[in-house]
Amino acid sequence: MNRGGSFLITPLDEYKILTPEHFTEDHRDFREAVLDFAQETIKPRANDIEKLDESLTRNLFEQMGEMGMLGVDIPEEFGGLGLDKTAAALVVEALAYSGSGSLLVTYSDHTGIALFPILWYGNQAQRKKYIPEMMSGKSLGSYALTEPGAGSDALNSNTSAVLSDDGKYYILNGTKQFITNGSWADIGVVFAKVDGTKFTAFILDRTMEGWKRGPEEHKIGIKGSSTTTYIMDNCKIPVENVIGKVGSGAGVAFNVLYIGRLKLGAVTMGAGKAMIKEALDYAKERKQFAQSISNFGMLQSKFAEMIVGSFEAETVTYATTGALDANIEKLADGHPDYYIQLQQIVEDHAIETSINKVLSSEVLFHNVDEGLQVLGGYGYTEEYPFARYYRDERINRIFEGTNEINRLIIGGTMLKKAIMEEIPLRDAISKIGDSWVQQHENKDAMRIDLARTILLVTLNDLILKYGQDFKSRQWMIKPFADIVIAFQVMTAVYARKVAADGSSSKSIIDDIATASIDKRFIEITNSADIIWRHILCSDDIKKRKKSLNDALDAMDYFPDVVTLRQNIFNDLMEKGEYNFG
């Protein structure tokens, strides 16, 4: 089995990933069909959705239900399509081309964290009762974990659940904060502590008394998605609506977030790609200084940067879905523990799903910001949709685990996998000597091997310095997590470049790969430097720097990143939009 985190130690030439160049015909056809729907049906209504128009959103959900978009990776027995994570990611990234951040949030919540607790941990009766109506779009779901005093620290819940005297109900009291789909939801997964200690998940539905919703939050963006509190006011939930066992709520709450992050990563990746065309269309038409502003190098470099970022996000997204699918495929259908095993596969890829979320949400942030800049003053007005994109983008770095919490997960999980020997990091570390030079016929590959050495050496330094306590040293976790993210990007981008042999986009993919690997390599050396200077004595710092500089000298590699980016921009001008694979 291809374990999560294996990109860290798999020799580069053996590291294979799923790439868009190798999508199946079904995958491509799905993408086309969903893109049509997103652009023809959702996009023209994006401003109406912003008015928090419930009936419009529900109408679109029913249409999406009819087309099968609400249950791509849900088994057919519950009304889904029974397809893989790759297909689900493709559908949601194509939906993101609608440019409606609001609808995408409603969608991701409904098809992700609201649904998976019931699918993975619910019993058959609960699945049969609730999932089909969610698949059709007739019922909207929600997931209520956060509380006023329990945000990132989600287990610090004050919501109580007490068994009724007749033993038929749990009576819930407490307040849930910032619940997506809050005023619209027909169904909710809600968490509370039984007897003050046993954190437990329950299914709420419209029929239950005592489930009240507070007023709408006034948000910066995604104004067309509903966000309210839930007030559990002696809310009576039948005992048969407990998900899993009493006291097993933490696993339910956190494990579905891996899926949530995977989906949010795909949404933000798609949205980031869509920004490029919108900004480019404007740039082509806008004339200043008697020419199209797309002639100006500073704007061209922005576009090249957007392409590189989106290429990285896309590559990493499908590397992850491909790895998950390859593992999930091997599970025996109908096995009583099927969903437990499936969940374990996803959890094992915690590093990857957090990387997807952080990387794609930050690429979207960058693309929206630079895209708006391309529009100049017009980008700042409501005449153009960039103002809305700018507002809508912001939430992605906050929910489904803030990007800080996700960096903690990346660092913490790495540490755990190293210490538990889940991936033989120790072994890899022990093989590194004073010389960091490794030969490879491809210089990008040499750089990646060098980056791996830096990563492993730095991890070793951190473990020697702090031991298990590393996980609470956030000043160090941040740069270390950035190294891991950059390294996953490099390896995946390189694997994609190799897999693109024979594709018509081969030569431009080579350029993008070199530009990406170059940029990420510089990031890694910067982050490592920050760590070394904080935890090593000056002799050791000098030793590290000497090893690094000797390796760089031996490599003798100075790719001209300006020419690479010019090529990337010219390719974009020819195609008119982000389009690879």
Partner 1 sequence: MKIVVCIKHVPDTETKIVIVDDGKSINSNGVKYILNPYDEYAVEEALQIKEANEESEVVAISVGDDSTQSSIRSALAMGVDRGTLLKTGNFALVDPFSVAKILAEEIKLESPDIILTGKMSIDAYGSQVPGLIAELLELPVVNLARDIVLSEGKATVKRDIEGGSETLITTLPAVISAEKGLNNPRYPALKGIMQAKKKPLEIKEINLDETDVEIIELTYPKQKPAGRIVGNSADAAVELVKLLRQEAKVI
Q: Which stretch binds ligand FAD (CB under 6 A): 120-128, 303-311, 377-385, 519-527?
A: 377-385
Contact 307, 578 (CB under 8 A): yes
| Residue 298 makes contact with ligand FAD by CB under 6 A | yes
Which of 90, 80, 71 has its CA nearest to residue 28? 90
Show the tokens assigned to 71.
């249950």
CB of 31 to partner 1, least distance (A): 10
| Residue 532 makes contact with partner 1 by CB under 8 A | no
Phi, psi of 31 (to 5 degrees): -60, -45
Annotation says 400 is catalytic: yes
Q: How many residues bind partner 1 (CB under 8 A)?
A: 18
Binding residues for partner 1 restricted to 27-86, rule: CB under 8 A = 29-30, 33-34, 36-37, 41, 63, 66-69, 72, 81, 83
| Residue 554 makes contact with partner 1 by CB under 8 A | no
Q: Which of 104, 118, 264, 299 binds ligand FAD (CB under 6 A)?
A: 299
Nearest to ligand FAD by Cβ — which residue? 151
Q: Which stretch binds ligand FAD (CB under 6 A): 42-50, 285-293, 421-429, 556-564?
A: 285-293
Contact 191, 247 (CB under 8 A): no
Instruction: Give DSSP secondary structure letters for 14-35.
Output: G-----GGG--HHHHHHHHHHH
d(CA 412, CA 409): 5
Cα angle at 373 between 35 and 40, to 5 degrees? 20
Q: Choose between 450 and 477: whose C-beta lies nearer to ligand FAD.
A: 477
What does 325 interact with, of ligand FAD, partner 1, none (CB < 5 to 8 A by kind)?
A: none
What does 144 interact with, of ligand FAD, partner 1, none (CB < 5 to 8 A by kind)?
A: ligand FAD
Q: Which stretch binds ligand FAD (CB under 6 A): 75-83, 140-148, 164-172, 522-530?
A: 140-148
Binding residues for partner 1 restricted to 80-119, rule: CB under 8 A = 81, 83, 91
- CB pairs under 8 A, 24+ apart, for 54-59? 54/183, 54/184, 54/226, 57/103, 57/106, 57/184, 57/224, 58/137, 58/140, 58/184
Residue with tokens 């800049």: 373
| Residue 286 makes contact with ligand FAD by CB under 6 A | yes
| Residue 377 makes contact with ligand FAD by CB under 6 A | yes
d(CA 523, CA 519): 6
Residue with tokens 């957007």: 306
CB contact set of 452 (below 8 Å; sequence gap of 6+): 8, 9, 487
CB of 536 to ligand FAD, least distance (A): 24
Which of 356, 264, 273 has its CA nearest to residue 35? 273
Contact 173, 237 (CB under 8 A): no
| Residue 373 makes contact with ligand FAD by CB under 6 A | yes
Q: How many residues bind ligand FAD (CB under 6 A)?
A: 33
Q: Which stretch binds ligand FAD (CB under 6 A): 67-75, 325-333, 340-348, 392-400?
A: 392-400
d(CA 303, CA 473): 37
| Residue 215 makes contact with ligand FAD by CB under 6 A | no
Residues with a known catalytic role = 400
Residues of the shown chain interacting with partner 1 in the complex, contacts defined by CB under 8 A: 25-26, 29-30, 33-34, 36-37, 41, 63, 66-69, 72, 81, 83, 91
Residues of the shown chain interacting with ligand FAD in the complex, contacts defined by CB under 6 A: 109, 143-146, 151-152, 178-180, 219, 227, 286, 288-289, 293, 296, 298-299, 373-374, 376-378, 380, 395, 398-399, 402, 404-405, 408, 474
